[in-house]
Amino acid sequence: MAATVKYDEVEVGQEIPAVDYNVRRPDLVMYAGASGDFNQIHWNERFAKMVGLPDVIAHGMYTMAQAGRFVTDWAGDPGAVVDFGVRFSSMVVVPDDDQGATISVSGVVEEKLEDKRVVVGLTARSGEARVLSKARAVVQLS
C-alpha cells in the first residue's frame, strides 16, 4: 500500500493538525500484557506513589506508539515510515478515573528530501507537559 499523502502536495512548514489519544488504566494493563512490561509503576497506584511518582504513569513506549500512530495515520500507510525516533522528556500521568489522560500529538513537515521522503517533526503533550522531545519521522510519500 502506498502512502496517500503526495510528496508534491506537502510543503516545508506545513502543519499536521493535532490528534488527541486518550489513555486510561485498562489501556496500560493491555499494553503491559502485549509488551511484557509489567513494571508496577504502570498499573499499581500505591507502588507508583511509594517510589515517588505522582500516580501511575504510561509506558514510555506506549507514548511513543501514539506518536507513531499519528504519523502512520497521516501518511496512510504504516510501511511509509522509514525512520522514527524520540526522546522521552516527561511522564504521562494516568489517574484512576473515567477520563484518564490525553496525549496530544501534532506535527510539522520540517524538510523535503530526495526520493519523495519528508522529515516530520512531532510534538507530543500531556496536559502542559511536553512528553516527547526530538521526535522525528522520515516518511516515504508517493
Rounded Cα distance, 141 and 77, in Å: 9
Number of folded domains that form the chain: 1
| Residue 133 scores a pLDDT above 90 | yes
Residue 121 lies in a domain: yes
Query: Distance between CA atoms of 32 and 78, rounded to whole angstroms?
Result: 22
- Has residue 35 been placed in a domain? no
Q: How far apart are CA 2 and CA 79, in angstroms?
A: 8
User: Which residues on adjacent β-strands are paired with residue 64?
Assistant: none
Helix (H), strand (E) at residue 123: strand 117-126
32 inside domain:
no
Is residue 48 included in any domain, yes or no?
A: no
Residue 43 has a CB neighbour count (10 Å cut-off) of 19
pLDDT tens, 92-118?
A: 999 999 999 999 999 999 999 999 999
Residue 104 belongs to domain with CATH number: 3.10.129.10
Residue 10 is which amino acid? V
Q: What is the pLDDT of residues 11-60, one digit of tens each?
A: 999 999 999 999 999 999 999 999 999 999 999 999 999 999 999 999 99
Query: Is residue 100 a contact partner of residue 22, using CB atoms and an 8 Å limit?
Result: yes
Structural domain that includes position 68 = 7-22+59-140
State the pTM of this model. 0.94
Structural domain contains residue 109: yes
- Judge whether 41 lies within some domain: no
Strands 117-126 and 15-23: unpaired
12 domain residue, yes or no: yes
